[in-house]
Amino acid sequence: MITGDAAANVAFYRELLGLRLIKKTVNFDQPEAYHLYFGDDGGSPGSVLTWFEFPGAPRGAPGAGMIHRLELGVGGPAALEFWKHRLDRLGHRAAEADGRLRFADYDGLEFELAGDTHGNPPLTASHPDVPSDFAIQGVQGARAYAADPDSARPLLTEVLGFDHKRDHEYVLGGDDRHVHWAYDQSSERGREGAGTVHHIAWHSRDEDQVGWQQRVREAGQHVTEVRDREYFKAIYFRTPQGILFEIATTSPGFAVDEDPEHLGEQLRLPRRHEHLRDHLERTLAPL
């Protein structure tokens, strides 16, 4: 995702939502921009939300070819009641509908909290103001806009292994987790900026990534080379609907350069940008 304010980002996702700040680093391609990672206590795949900070970035608006809502899992009705009270009290109005809770962050990015329907193991972070029974349990899905949602089905089901459920809704299942993916029809043009989603990452076993790269390429999609992101390796391709997909490995993980007990406490820089440390520590906003 994109934000214009890293301090507000930490205040909302760490202090309000209770996620753990698991990595404080910079964008590989634009090192003057923070790349902040939040997740459960161990930074597990399935829990991670990340932001690029471009200071002062104007607010964007989702449109065709963009994700417009992220779905997070919680433990059930009591957890939803807790979050409605907490969000309302802290100035982020939450609306209940069909057993779900919708709200937006400080940049206008839309979220939905819902009880898990797939038996996913909970991936939670510890926070003194959020009881463990009510903690957010991981990413449960996302929804995007598309001008022609029907055109998404062949790539999703025949190439990537999604199960088509109904209309434009899908489920992707792995060994122990399932997530929802859906399209809503819209031909409106969006505007990238604060509060919008840059790309979504799907998890691959390390040994399967090159096979996925080949499979996507053989399906006629342009896919990047394998890129070493130091905490994982990644490939990228843009779907015909305009969504940028990433397939990322597990290894080596977020503890490769920090003790697991102290994730996110220090500014960590990619090796290629370590020579910029003095400059970046002077110019990046203190967090």
Q: Is the pLDDT of residue 46 over 90?
A: yes
* pLDDT at residue 176 in the model: 86
Question: Tokens 């391709």 sit at which residue?
Answer: 237
68 neighbors 62 (Cβ within 8 angstroms): yes
Across the range 24-40, mean pLDDT stands at: 96
Report pLDDT digits (tens) over 181-228.
Answer: 999 999 999 999 999 999 999 999 999 999 999 999 999 999 999 999
Phi, psi of 270 (to 5 degrees): -55, 150
Rounded to 10 degrees, the C-alpha dihedral 238/50/283/108 comes to 90
Across the range 263-270, mean pLDDT stands at: 97
* pLDDT at residue 77 in the model: 95
Counting every residue, how long is the chain?
Answer: 287
Q: Is the pLDDT of residue 85 over 90?
A: yes
Across the range 137-164, mean pLDDT stands at: 97
* pLDDT at residue 5 in the model: 97
pLDDT band at 265 (very low <50, low <70, confident <90, very high): very high
pLDDT band at 174 (very low <50, low <70, confident <90, very high): confident
pLDDT band at 232 (very low <50, low <70, confident <90, very high): very high
The mean pLDDT of the chain is 97
Percent of the chain whose pLDDT exceeds 70 = 100
* pLDDT at residue 61 in the model: 98
Q: How many angstroms separate the CA atoms of 171 and 164, rounded?
A: 7
Percent of the chain whose pLDDT exceeds 90 = 97
Across the range 95-123, mean pLDDT stands at: 95
Cis omega (within 30 of 0) for bond into 58: no
Write the single-letter amino acid at 187: S
pLDDT band at 97 (very low <50, low <70, confident <90, very high): confident
Question: Tokens 């779905």 sit at which residue?
Answer: 71
**CATH number where 226 lies:** 3.10.180.10
Structure tokens at 124: 């939670």
Structural domain harbouring 244 = 2-283
Q: Is the pLDDT of residue 116 over 90?
A: no
Q: Which residues contact 92 (CB under 8 A, 6 or more apart)?
A: 16, 103, 104, 105, 106
* pLDDT at residue 58 in the model: 98
Q: Is the pLDDT of residue 51 over 90?
A: yes
- Which pTM does this prediction carry? 0.96
Q: For strand 178-185 and strand 169-173, is the pairing parallel, antiparallel, or unpaired?
A: antiparallel
Q: Is the pLDDT of residue 117 over 90?
A: no
* pLDDT at residue 175 in the model: 83
Total domains in the chain come to: 1
pLDDT band at 156 (very low <50, low <70, confident <90, very high): very high
Report pLDDT digits (tens) over 197-208.
Answer: 999 999 999 999
